[in-house]
Amino acid sequence: MKLAVNYSSALIQLIESGALTVDLIKCPDWEGMLEEAQPFGEITIHFDLKAGLSQTFNTDLTRFEQLLNQTSTPHVNTHLVGPQHLDDTDSEQLSWLIALWREEISLLTHHFGADTVVLEHFPYTFNTPHLRLPSNPQVFSGVIQDTNCMLLLDLAHAKITADTLSMNVKDYIQSLPLDRLAEMHVTGVKRYAGVLTDHFGLSAEDWDLFNWAIQNIHHGKWRQPEIVAFEYGGAGNVFVWRTDKRILQEQVPRLYKTVHQ
């Protein structure tokens, strides 16, 4: 397993000064960011790709292939979503969406190979009803099994979704196909503007969930993922205001030690 951390100016400063060690710098597939990050370490790309909006059909997969070859990115990720107008009580709409997911994901697995494609879902809250079906653990797991691709487990997404569904987060996670785990994301979750939100520093509760997950991996109960990514910090207005160098200094070494224990 390798520890990846989100690209941010704070992270680069800490790496450059020798204050932090990471295995990989995790970057979005933005033009120019790869060139900015590469002088400071190996890179893994997290693609902004969504299945369920027909986006995949217009995606330049050759560009993705070039990025895989230029970096240490082990797989291509896509997110399972639904259109915002989705009525998931309508059986015809459900059948249409599930068929679309499989068609889009099959395009990726045909191009890259099923073991190189990983599937993730976004966090479901009552403010995002169109994400209820994609985050349903039975539906999500079924698509992974049917397309023979791999699992990207985001602990924060699972925690937020389980809270919305009034489920125990560990029960939610255990219902996923953990024998196909290829990548795991961890970040802190707290209530912000009345809604559970991720991409914060880890609280004691977040550490407990992470330690439970990593022990299941170390003990062989789950498949060992290639990457464990700390999705804290970043670039752009969405992330800059919640990127604190002190949190990186405190939490990255602890994560690194736990991943490599």
Tokens of 51: 């299945």
User: Tell me, what's the pLDDT at 194?
Assistant: 84
Residue type for 159, please? K
pLDDT of residue 224 exceeding 80 = yes
Question: In the predicted model, what is the mean pLDDT of the chain?
Answer: 94
The pTM is what?
0.95
Q: For 95-146, what is the HEC assignment?
A: HHHHHHHHHHHHHHHHHHCHHHEEEEECCCCCCCHHHHHHHCHHHHHHHHHH
Q: What pLDDT was estimated at residue 23?
A: 98
* Predicted local distance difference test score (pLDDT) of residue 235: 79
Pairing of β 150-154 and β 50-51? unpaired
pLDDT digits (tens, 9 = 90+) for 147-157: 999 999 999 99
Decide: helix, strand or coil at residue 21. coil
Task: Give the least confident one: 86-90, 149-153, 197-201.
Answer: 86-90
> What's the rounded mean pLDDT across residues 43-56?
96
The residue-averaged pLDDT of 169-197 equals 95
CB under 8 A, 24+ apart: contacts of 205-210: 206/155, 206/156, 206/159, 209/155, 209/159, 209/169, 209/170, 210/155, 210/186, 210/255, 210/258
Q: Is the pLDDT of residue 172 over 90?
A: yes
pLDDT-derived band of residue 185, with 50, 70 and 90 as boundaries? Answer: very high
* Domain residue ranges of the chain, discontinuous segments joined by +: 2-259
Give the pLDDT score at 243: 86
pLDDT, tens digit, for every residue of 237-253?
777 777 899 999 999 99
Q: Would you say 141 and 177 are in contact if contact means Cβ atoms under 8 Å apart?
A: yes
In CATH, what number does 2-259 get? 3.20.20.150
Tell me the mean pLDDT in the region 71-80. Answer: 97
Distance of CA 176 to the CA centre of its chain: 14
The amino acid sitting at 35 is E
